[in-house]
Structure 1
């Protein structure tokens, strides 16, 4: 989410735990996205938990928080982790379909979905301590048995999923990285899409939502031409065909526009406080549903 930065991938912090340095700009313009280090879609900032959230962590972490990280404080996934049918049975105690939410934020959406659908299993991916703790709190209060949380880098966890392990993947209101030079850090990328496609069951869906017009254009550019995914939307929207950044977003209305296909609002997404704020600010919500299809 843009205000709570719920995306799950980022510039690694400095060795002393301080914030990451700004990425190089002009002299690195022609370098590959992964030049020298991983390009992440979040900047990890430490945040002290208040008493209520610390109590929730202490009470519920053993029940809900998966032990999949490479080490204490690490967001990397252990090399031996494989999310497959056997893992689902061992972890959730059943063989129900598994849905993963990338960047679950405060947990409002995935907790509501898990409560409404006990016939499904859910896994929340979130890197920030307060978001994880709040999700633990909500899940514990509702005594949910079909929800787990992993505090790891989302693309690594998706890569650890075996073929057809997932029913759906959700990515709602990811960090927009509004500066033009940071667009490469957006979570929706072709590399992640390839892993999502492999991990989804035939006909499975990657559901995406954003309230940032330029991010909507980015999603179309990444996803609409990919083999193996079909845009399952039925709504026509008009978007600028050129990108804008934080400094020139006001120019978008004067740019050339074209029609794109998107989806109706996903009924399975609750109206969170974050989405309410976006609507109140006059932003349009863009929903996408991309389903896996067999290669021709």
Structure 2
């Protein structure tokens, strides 16, 4: 019998607190060029309140009938580009507010020549607001911001404000992957994800990643600093 799932939340508030970084180091000229010339064509239209004030659901046919995957916080973009190139029959959406990360992804897209992806350069919760029910077949959360201080744990992705809308927009049986090097993030993930309507499947430490995994810059940094990665797979029930 599936685990009980709480009823959906009310419509999102007009304004949300956002705590992550938007800007980092000064962009190189090439990165400014990517943002100026490539972003608009890849930006997912109809997510912002300005473009979609009624918050009407996006039409999934715009993705050509392909299975839809999502990467939450794609960092430098290496995993997203790798997955797009290895799975030409799917369409990937990457949600990332950090401008430097967006610029790095755009450079990798131009170099790899992949076209089966879109970018939401903002808060993933705004994307959840306009995605229809049951459209995502796979979701990746790779090395999310750990918010290490206890008083900031409520800002982590693996909390109710993110997990309940995530559950709504995923297909029953869809896969939710989490990779992190923070043991306390693993603890909170195991505590909060199953009650939100997910069942734990694969769980492994270093050397137990998924067969199609590509190690990211954040994972390499963690390994250099002696932190072991953890890989968790959940299924939407």
State TM-score, norm by structure 2.
0.84
Aligned-residue CA RMSD (Å): 2.6
Instruction: Give the deviation of 1:235 after TM superposition.
Output: 4.7
Gaps of 5+ in 2: 1-14
On the 8 A contact 1:69/1:152 being kept in 2, the answer is no
State TM-score, norm by structure 1.
0.69
In the alignment, the residues of structure 2 paired with residue 41 and residue 183 of structure 1 have an alpha-carbon distance, to the nearest angstrom, of 12
On the 8 A contact 1:97/1:121 being kept in 2, the answer is yes
1:78–1:126 Cα change, 3 Å: farther
In the alignment, the residues of structure 2 paired with residue 45 and residue 154 of structure 1 have an alpha-carbon distance, to the nearest angstrom, of 17
On the 8 A contact 1:41/1:186 being kept in 2, the answer is no
Look up the SS of the partner of 1:225 in the other structure. helix
Match of 1:170 in 2: 140
Which of 71, 89, 109 aligns to 1:139? It is: 109
On the 8 A contact 1:139/1:147 being kept in 2, the answer is no
Indicate yes or no: 2:27 matched with 1:49.
yes
In the alignment, the residues of structure 1 paired with residue 234 and residue 130 of structure 2 have an alpha-carbon distance, to the nearest angstrom, of 21
Measured against aligned partners, the alpha-carbon deviations of 1:93-149 in whole angstroms (never above 9, x if no partner) come to: x21101010001111100111011101110111101111111111112222120111
Measured against aligned partners, the alpha-carbon deviations of 1:246-275 in whole angstroms (never above 9, x if no partner) come to: xxxxxxxxxxxxxxxxx9412333112221
Measured against aligned partners, the alpha-carbon deviations of 1:187-244 in whole angstroms (never above 9, x if no partner) come to: 1112321211111112101111110011111111111334x3111125599xxxxxxx
On the 8 A contact 2:55/2:129 being kept in 1, the answer is no
Aligned length: 224
Consecutive aligned runs of 4 or more in structure 1 exceeding 6 Å deviation:
none
Match of 1:27 in 2: none
Match of 2:74 in 1: 104
In the alignment, the residues of structure 2 paired with residue 191 and residue 173 of structure 1 have an alpha-carbon distance, to the nearest angstrom, of 19
Which structure is richer in relative contact order (CA contacts within 8 A, separation 6 or more)?
2
Which of 201, 222, 232 aligns to 2:201? It is: 232
Which of 130, 151, 154 aligns to 1:184? It is: 154
In the alignment, the residues of structure 1 paired with residue 29 and residue 133 of structure 2 have an alpha-carbon distance, to the nearest angstrom, of 41
Gaps of 5+ in 1: 1-36, 89-93, 238-262
Alignment of 1:203-242 (within 5 A): 203-226=173-196, 228-233=197-202, 235=204
In the alignment, the residues of structure 2 paired with residue 151 and residue 278 of structure 1 have an alpha-carbon distance, to the nearest angstrom, of 26
Measured against aligned partners, the alpha-carbon deviations of 1:36-81 in whole angstroms (never above 9, x if no partner) come to: x744351434654220101122231232122345378xxx975435
In the alignment, the residues of structure 2 paired with residue 193 and residue 61 of structure 1 have an alpha-carbon distance, to the nearest angstrom, of 28
Look up the SS of the partner of 1:218 in the other structure. helix
On the 8 A contact 2:157/2:163 being kept in 1, the answer is no
Indicate yes or no: 2:205 matched with 1:283.
no
